[in-house]
Structure 1
Amino acid sequence: MSESGVRARDASTVMLVRDGAAGIEVFLQRRVTGMAFAAGMTVFPGGGVDPADLTADIAWAGPEPAWWARRFATDEATAQALVAAAVRETFEECGVLLAGPTADTVVEDSARYRQARGKLERRELSLADFLAAEGLVLRADLLRPWSNWITPEAEPRRYDTRFFVAVLPQGQDADGATSEAAQVSWQAPADALVSWRGGEHVLMPPTWSQLDALCGFADTAAVLAAERAITPIMPRYAPGTDGRPLSDFPDNERYFAELPELGALGGR
């Protein structure tokens, strides 16, 4: 149990990327200010694992749960739920559906499932039931494991978040038709960092770290081919320091050196 007495909830976040004219672009959303966690922050689509994501009976293509369990150092049931949550959250939050009629196809127009998308977001429908009703197969092979960040122990709301990366499927569009996003955009990772340094939006350390890593890739093919060593990262607060700056995460000194205004983090 953590300092706050709160156990970290499993969560999935997906970095959706595409090839732009000048290189990689990543889909970002600014969360509405009324959210209980990361309000007003710029993030990737994602959220906590839902109990319905644990459904075992789901049409599946790609690496099996055992493979994901090894990559994320967890059990198979949790691994399957993490992948299911990644697919569900991506569909709910930006309308991109990583599934297809067969194991080697992907839907070209996800807008036809708009009604089901709303039911998923309202928890009136499970991902497994949605896929079964539409005759769709979850495409786990369109995802790649990327990293694992855990909310600091002192926080009252905590997540054990596994980051995935996926390329925007051909024919699909990412949108902002979700109650959780106030603004969405496609940006080159380097441009997103420049605007962050200029104080135009707020990035928490995990988001900043992933954007920084994406800057090192020329195109989406290189991103998908990357072999990532995934070690859990849990930042810690430095005791007795104004602004509660975090330590124990990669390049934390550079993050705070570039941070335009420490208070913008809201204590996270």
Structure 2
Amino acid sequence: MADTSPAALPDKTAIRDAATVIVLRDRTTAPQILMGQRGAKAAFMPSKFVFPGGAVDPEDAQVPLAQSMNALCRDRLREDSATDRSHALAVAAIRELWEETGLRLSQPGEWQSTPSPDWAGFAQGDHLPTAAPLQFVFRAITPPGRPRRFDARFFLLDADAITSDLDDFSLASDELSHLHWVPLAEARALDLPFITEVVLAEIAQRAATLEPPASVPFFRNDDEESLFLRLYGRDQDR
């Protein structure tokens, strides 16, 4: 029988690493962004329109990548972090995109071992996840007092890098409903969490820029104070 004593249950208020994917389509002409709506009974941000994303799983660190993110983004991810979580965060971003939308960020390749059940559908047809197209563009920690807290890293992804049909969401889970491409200029009219509005403003400024940002905004909400910082990477001058 499982131990259900309070000491044995997970602390749902503990800060968990999370990855969010901002998929941008037709970015240099008429940019659109992929969004979906969380369920009305969800414990975290019920009924809000959000980007695909979720918490990092322990197994994400072991999933192979055909290509890693570029060195600049990995360096930004290591800044203000006790351990290097760049690989696990990239894998979580690709996994959550696949699970919540059915869209695949991959390149041809064979798995060296049998994929776990979470990746079996993704791997069909010899697809390996690739993180090379992901750009780390934003980080935010959920403020204290919320039912769930995440240290969320936001990744910008050009839709051209996706290897599946951009309008086919038939393989998506039911975690997000109303999945659709929203004109970037109209997205802020949706019912959004505050942090999503902030990220959208940042993306609107970067829509036509193909290079990773020189620095990454970071909303760090600690128990003691809330700070707005910028991550430059350990090898950059402040």
TM-score, structure 1 as length reference: 0.66
CA 1:182 to 1:141, structure 2 compared with 1: closer, same or farther past 3 Å?
same
Q: Distance in 2 between matches of 1:167 and 1:42?
A: 20
Segments of 5+ residues of structure 2 without an aligned counterpart are 1-10, 230-238
Gap runs ≥5 in structure 1: 104-119, 196-200, 238-246, 251-268
Alpha-carbon offset, residue 225 of structure 1: 1.4
8 A contact 1:190–1:211 mirrored in 2: no
SS in 2 for 1:216: helix
| SS across alignment from 1:207 | helix
* Equivalent of residue 172 in structure 1, options 160, 165, 188: 165
Match of 2:66 in 1: 60
Structure number with greater CO (CA < 8 Å, separation at least 6) is 2
| 1:97-108 matches, cutoff 5 A | 97-102=104-109
Point out the structure with the larger strand share: 2
Q: Which of residues 213, 221, 234 in structure 2 aligns to 1:227?
A: 213
Residue 186 (1) aligns with residue 181 (2)? yes
Alignment of 1:230-241 (within 5 A): 230-235=216-221
Please state if 1:32 is matched with 2:30.
no
Counterpart of 1:211? 200
The ranges of structure 1 where at least 4 consecutive aligned residues each deviate by more than 4 angstroms after the TM superposition are 66-69, 129-134, 247-250
- Overall identity of the aligned pairs, in %: 28
Q: Is the 8 A contact 1:149 1:232 kept in 2?
A: yes
**Is the 1:28–1:187 Cα contact (8 Å) retained in structure 2?**
yes
The separation in 1 between residues aligned to 2:86 and 2:206, in whole angstroms, is 27
Task: Tell me which of 40, 63, 70 is aligned to 2:75.
Answer: 70
- Preserved CA contact (<8 Å) 2:53 2:93: yes
For the residues of structure 1 that align with 2:66 and 2:95, how far apart are their CA atoms? 14
Q: 1:178 to 1:218 in 2, by over 3 A?
A: same
Higher share in helix? 1
Q: Is the 8 A contact 1:146 1:228 kept in 2?
A: no
1:71 counterpart letter in structure 2? R
* From 81, 87, 90, the counterpart of 1:83: 90
Q: Is the 8 A contact 2:73 2:135 kept in 1?
A: no
Query: Structure 1: which amino acid aligns with 2:219?
Result: I
What is the CA deviation profile of residues 65-123 of structure 1, one whole-angstrom value per residue up to 9, with x for unaligned ones? x76542112333x22110000000001111111111159xxxxxxxxxxxxxxxx9xxx
- Residue identity opposite 2:132 in structure 1: D
| 1:220-262 C-alpha deviation (Å, 9 max, x unpaired) | xx2x31424124313589xxxxxxxxx7559xxxxxxxxxxxx
Partner of 1:125: 117
C-alpha distance in 1 between matches for 2:123 and 2:36: 29
**When the two structures are superposed, what TM-score results if normalisation uses the length of structure 2?**
0.74
Contact 2:27–2:207 (CA under 8 A) maintained in structure 1: no
Residue pair 2:65, 2:131 contacting (<8 A) in 1 also? no
Distance, in Å, in 2 between the alignment partners of 1:7 and 1:158 is 6
CA root-mean-square deviation: 3.2
